Amino acid sequence: MSQSWSAPLAPAPVHATVAVPGSKSITNRALVLAALSRRPSTVTGALRSRDADLMIAALVALGVPVDSDGTTVRTGAHTALTGPALVDCGLAGTVMRFVPPVAVLAEGRVDFDGDPRARERPMGTVLDALRALGADVDGAGLPFAIRGRGHLPGGAVTIDASASSQFVSGLLLSGAAYDDGLTVHHDGEPVPSLPHIDMTVEMLRTAGVSVDDSEPNTWRVEPGPIAPVDWVVEPDLSNATPFLAAAAVTGGEVTVPGWPARTTQPGDEIRQILKLMGAEVDLTDGRLTVRGPGRLGGVDIDLHDVGELTPTVAALAALADGPSRLRGIAHLRGHETDRLAALVAEVNGLGGDAEETEDGLLIRPRPLRAGRWHAYADHRMATAGAIVGLVVDGVTVDDITTTAKTMPDFPAMWSAMLDGGRG
């Protein structure tokens, strides 16, 4: 059920320490690898949100024993994946793209469906690839069905992953469990969000899987066992960005503890973006601190590899002193919503000046006014509205509940930050 939310105005520069929950991207990859290992594994510090809970439910539906205690999730030993099963993808790209390559290994029929908007998201790339590898797939997008035979021949497949890096990651995660392993070759425009594929490759190697990514646009996964791993999940750096942005737009200071010195998470790029816009950024002893400038500058930047940061950066740009051009993000038209059109509509709806370009956005700052900011069932659109609301009185986000996709407690965390919260 949607819930309208009056975005609180910051009465003074924000000063707070904000601990963010675990990474969705790492959590859901770890859960898939734990299930495929077929031996007991533990995921500590897991994100517990709608996306992660949908992943857990999908694996349970396939016969994987799962026990959870807060942010600790344990998968039990099992001999095989089984159907029949029904997988609810919600609006989770990681579920709709990562679970079908797992489901082909089950015995029996597995049906997939999701939220209405999920039915509009591209799925043909993954499903056609599975067909080419020997799977029995009925459908080209949600809803669709897979008739598993307990194994998949595997082999080599060429895909166009220019719409989403998840197409590559989803196939790679299960590749070692296929009879002949898996080789994925990308043929098309550059793959967006390449750091997410790097994350997948690194986690596969941690689980003892041999992956060769030495050739550009080609990934080879050797067949073999997937080792059980006790995964420890990093904080979600992309979910940290709205809180860091709060420091930038209010001239305050926000610290996020637990920030890794080395990571494959694309959200780490926010450090460089905030520096370019004039903020002071310091990472010391695992604590990232951002101090906002007196005047926030515009930026001309290519966000192709870190497109998930676009709503946060667009909110910053709408509040900056100079124009910004955000490039390399045409693929965002196929995310939870058409994020480019949505951002233009919402910034302009508050009196701003934003326009779409062929591959991104051009934002020219103007004084913004009170009004309704629509979330479009997109968690990052909702948090972008919260950022704007810090300095523009009277902004209302039409559906704050959509933040539960990755941050179930976002409204409370936002209020605690404004109260100078710590922890």
- Per the annotation, binding residues are 24-25, 29, 93, 121, 164-166, 193, 308, 335, 339, 380, 405
Structure tokens at 239: 């979910």
Residues in CB range of 185: below 8 A, 6 or more apart: 156, 157, 158, 159, 217, 218
Q: Which residue(s) pair with 73 in the sheet?
A: 43, 68
- Please state the residue numbers annotated as binding site for 3-phosphoshikimate: 24-25, 29, 164-166, 193, 308, 335
Question: Alpha-carbon distance 314 to 67, whole Å?
Answer: 39
Residues in CB range of 111: below 8 A, 6 or more apart: 84, 85, 86, 87, 143, 144, 145
Alpha helix (H) ranges present in 364-409? 379-389
42: three-class secondary structure by DSSP: strand
Residue pair 121/92 in contact by the 8 Å Cβ criterion: no
Question: Alpha-carbon distance 342 to 354, whole Å?
Answer: 11
Catalytic pick from 234, 269, 308, 336? 308
Question: Is 107 among the residues known to form the active site?
Answer: no
Task: Count CB-CB contacts under 10 A for residue 347.
Answer: 27
Residue pair 73/66 in contact by the 8 Å Cβ criterion: yes
Active site residue ranges: 308
